[in-house]
Amino acid sequence: MVVTILLVEDEVAIQELIALNLKRAGYSVLCTERADQAKSLINNVLPDLVLLDWMLPDVSGLEFARKLRQEERTQSIPIIMLTARTQENDKISGLEAGADDYITKPFSPRELQARIKAVLRRRLPEMSEEIIELGGLRLDPSTHRVHVRNNNGSSQLTEINLGPTEFRLLHFLMAYKDRVHSRAQLLDRVWGDHVFIEDRTVDVHIRRLRKVLEAVCKESLVQTVRGTGYRFSVEYQEPSIG
């Protein structure tokens, strides 16, 4: 799953250098120099993370971060502040405005990428490339493969084949183990913010996912929470319709 990063930086040379290194690292990068332009980009494509410079020509990065945190659609987007300010009070102000992390200039591409990975791991675990192993399933995001561990006590793994949507759906549910997600939440996070399809589409793909898992006796891991949505849990639950 390609991570989309919105870079809001008014110094063109720095913007180009950061964007180049992020693209080389495999990220999709949207660039702008102003907060109003950033807002327009967000209205079209919801990024997975925002790199936000403190000093912008129209409004401050602090003010823009606060606005993102105040709106329901953008309040959960991870934000990393970029600034030359090094005082402790400045860092506190950035974090209190809603930033998840704060990195001072100058910084190396390796440090920035490490900070990005750390924030995504905390805030958006489904964007991480780390292997998840739960309930006898082993999901590897980097290779898009899912294996099931045999129940005979051996370390042998058997691969199961999932379609791309079912893979993303399983990855998301496993990343947020035991957390219940509504159909609308799954549409936003798995299909995308600007994909306009019916909520019942989720049910269709859940059924497809369960059918594949049923062949390896793992369908009970994907559970229906009546009237609410779906969750992944290793705790047994009586089978539900849906």
The CATH number that applies at residue 34 is 3.40.50.2300
Count up the domains in the chain and report the number. Answer: 2
Per-residue confidence (pLDDT) for residue 68, from 0 to 100: 93
Amino acid type, 84: A
Same domain, 25 and 68: yes
The string of pLDDT tens digits covering residues 92-146 is 888 888 899 989 888 999 999 999 988 888 777 777 778 999 999 999 988 999 9
120 and 218 belong to one structural domain: no
CATH number, domain containing residue 191: 1.10.10.10
Q: Tell me the C-alpha to C-alpha distance, in Å, between residue 237 and each of 79, 172, 225, 234.
A: 37, 20, 10, 9
Q: Is residue 193 part of a domain?
A: yes
CA distances from 195 to 17, 176, 198, 203, 230 (A): 32, 22, 10, 16, 20
Domain end, chosen from 71, 94, 127, is at 127
User: 96 and 158 share a domain?
Assistant: no
**Residue 217 Rama label (left phi>0; alpha psi -120 to 50; beta):** left
Partners of 137 in the beta sheet?
Answer: 134, 148
Mean pLDDT over each residue of the chain, to the nearest integer:
87
Residues ≥6 apart with Cβ < 8 Å to 220:
236, 237, 239
19-32 pLDDT, tens digit per residue, is 999 999 989 999 99
Q: Which one of 82, 110, 127 terminates a domain?
A: 127
Same domain, 10 and 75: yes
- Which of 127, 152, 172 lies at the terminal end of a domain, its last residue? 127
In a domain, 237, yes or no: no
Q: Which pLDDT does position 239 carry in this prediction? A: 47
Is 239 a member of any domain? no
Same domain assignment for residues 91 and 160: no
Full-prediction pTM beyond 0.85?
no
Q: Indicate whether 20 and 93 sit together in one domain.
A: yes
Q: Which structural domain, as residue segments, surrounds residue 94?
A: 4-127
